Amino acid sequence: MSIRQISVFLENKPGSLCELTKVLAENGVDMRAFSLAETSDFGIARLIVDDVYKTTTVLRDAGFVHRITPVIAVALSDTPGGLNAILEALNAEQINVEFMYAFLGNTPGKAYMVFKVQDPVAATTALMRQGITPLEDWENS
C-alpha cells in the first residue's frame, strides 16, 4: 500500500517556492502533505496531493521538473515511542529508511509519518506483520 509522492525540483533562489505554490493554488491542487529539502543549488519539494495526474499535468505545463515516487504513510500513536515502534518493525526486516517526514492530520492522538524505502512492498509486509496498516492513497477524496 504505497502512496504516490511528487518530488518537484526547484532552483534554490528567492521566489522559486512561491512560484510552485502559486501554480498549485491557481489550479486547485489540494496538498495533503508537504516537505522541503535543500542543497546549495536546488531544493526538492515533496508533495502528497489529492490528484496526482492533474498535479503532474499542471507542473509539466508550468515547466517544473518533477517525478513520482512511491512512499508509505503511517498513522502512529502521538506518544513517546510511537515512531520507534514503526522503525523497529522496519529494522526487524533490515529495511532502510531513505527519508521521512511528518504531516498533520485531524485525528486527535495520532501523528502521521511518510517513509521512503527501497522496497515499499517489503516494508508494507513488515509493518502489517506487527499490526501496523499503512494508509491508503488519498487521491480524489
Per-residue pLDDT tens digits for 12-51: 889 999 999 999 999 999 998 999 998 778 899 999 999 9
Question: Tens of pLDDT along 50-99?
Answer: 999 999 999 999 999 999 999 999 988 888 888 999 999 999 999 999 99
Q: How far is CA 44 from its chain centroid? A: 12
> Do 70-129 and 3-69 fall under one CATH topology?
yes
Question: Tens of pLDDT along 92-133?
Answer: 999 999 999 988 777 788 888 999 999 999 999 999 998 888
Domain regions of the chain by residue span = 3-69, 70-129
Q: Domain 70-129 classified CATH 3.30.2130.10?
A: yes
Q: Please, which residues bridge with residue 111 across strands?
A: 76
Give the integer Cα–Cα distance in Å for 103 and 106.
Answer: 10
pTM recorded for the entire structure: 0.86
Query: Would you state the pLDDT for residue 133?
Result: 86
Helices (H), the chain: 16-26, 52-61, 82-92, 120-129
Query: Would you state the pLDDT for residue 59?
Result: 97
CATH architecture of 3-69: 2-Layer Sandwich (3.30)
Determine the length of the chain.
Answer: 141
How buried is residue 2: exposed, middle or buried, by Cβ count under 10 Å (0-12/13-18/19+)? buried
